[in-house]
Amino acid sequence: MNDLLLQTDKITKTYRNGKKEKHVLNGVDLTVHAGRLYAIEGESGSGKSTLLSILAGLQKPDSGSVSYWKNGEMVELTSLHENELAVLRRGDIAYIPQTCDMVSDLTVMDNIRLVDYFTEKKGDTEHLSDIMNRLGIAQLADAYPADLSGGELRRLVIARALYGNPKVILADEPTNDLDVHNKKEILDVFSDIIQNGVAMIIVTHDQTVAEKADQRFRLVDGRLSFGDRR
Ligand code: ADP
Ligand code: MG
């Protein structure tokens, strides 16, 4: 299938603290296609954030592979160097962490275009203002993160993720702490993005989010089991 973007094969991950071992992932298989929304649910501590960070190339699995198709060509994430992974994260694979860490002495606008400081290729201002408008934070361009509400911060984190025109977005509980209104706005933005061909994987406890997914999974005993399929 030519819309294949991401595929994992039997990922395992064990955390070790001294003699203590915690087997978090025990063979995770996941196939991700363009233009689809995937929801991953599971108990707290079941390994959802660990899985997302491995998909983002932020940490390596102990065994198994993560393949990404960049312009139709397969790239093996687990064999890339840190600088190559960083390049992928700036463009192709966007990771939206559970917490909204921002650079506190940069404005909203500069936080979004932070990635420009690391690359030769500068993003265009039209794209930047389009994203800020879409997320309803254009009027906050010159404000600082500390001045934003929880909902505004969430939108800022999402704007930063969208700025690199990612093909895959990995979002860790992106609607936590949001009121109904903010949640709806963010979910509408996500729907638009997905319709434009982006694949999105959302870790969530939120049933209204999970119900929107094309495919639902549950992480149990370190493996993904199928949930409802739309
Ligand atoms: P979830 O996101 O589903 O709540 P996590 O992936 O954050 O789960 O964590 C899964 C398990 O691994 C938890 O028991 C957690 O305490 C443990 N864990 C997570 N990160 C680390 C780490 N860096 N070192 C040791 N244990 C960790
Ligand atoms: Mg988590």
Cα(5)–Cα(216) distance, rounded to whole angstroms?
Answer: 18
Ligand 1 midpoint to CA 61 (Å): 13
Q: What is the pLDDT of residue 114?
A: 87
- In this structure, the residue with its CA closest to atom 17 of ligand 1 is 45
Cα(44)–Cα(24) distance, rounded to whole angstroms?
Answer: 12
Dihedral sign for Cα atoms in the order 103, 109, 112, 117: negative
- In this structure, the residue with its CA closest to atom 15 of ligand 1 is 45
Q: What is the pLDDT of residue 94?
A: 94
The token pair that represents 183 in the structure block: 């949640």
1: helix, strand or coil: coil
Q: What is the pLDDT of residues 175-197, one digit of tens each?
A: 987 888 889 989 999 999 999 99
Ligand 2 midpoint to CA 18 (Å): 23
Structure-model confidence comparison of residues 58 and 99, the more confident one? 58
Average pLDDT over residues 60-84: 93
Average pLDDT over residues 26-37: 97
Q: What is the pLDDT of residue 2?
A: 66
Q: What is the pLDDT of residues 80-133, one digit of tens each?
A: 999 999 888 888 999 999 888 899 999 999 999 988 877 766 678 899 999 999
- In this structure, the residue with its CA closest to atom 11 of ligand 1 is 45
Buried b (16+ CB within 10 A) or exposed e, 35-60: ebbbbbbbeeebbbbbbbbbbbbbeb
Q: Crossing angle of helices 150-163/125-134, nearest 10°?
A: 140
Average pLDDT over residues 22-36: 96
Average pLDDT over residues 13-36: 95
Average pLDDT over residues 55-68: 95
Q: What is the pLDDT of residue 179?
A: 87
Residues in contact with ligand 1 (CB, 6 Å cut-off)? 15, 17, 22, 24, 42, 44-50
The ligand that comes nearest to the alpha carbon of residue 172 is 2
Dihedral sign for Cα atoms in the order 99, 103, 108, 113: negative
- In this structure, the residue with its CA closest to atom 13 of ligand 1 is 45
Residue ranges with strand state E in 104-165: none
Cα(140)–Cα(136) distance, rounded to whole angstroms?
Answer: 9
Burial of 135 (0-12, 13-18, 19+ CB in 10 A): buried
Cα(14)–Cα(7) distance, rounded to whole angstroms?
Answer: 20
Residue 23 has pLDDT above 80, yes or no: yes
120: helix, strand or coil: coil
The token pair that represents 214 in the structure block: 């094309």
Residue 67 has pLDDT above 90, yes or no: yes
Average pLDDT over residues 133-153: 93
Average pLDDT over residues 208-230: 88
Average pLDDT over residues 159-173: 94
Cα(129)–Cα(17) distance, rounded to whole angstroms?
Answer: 46
Ligand 1 midpoint to CA 47 (Å): 6
Q: What is the pLDDT of residue 15?
A: 96
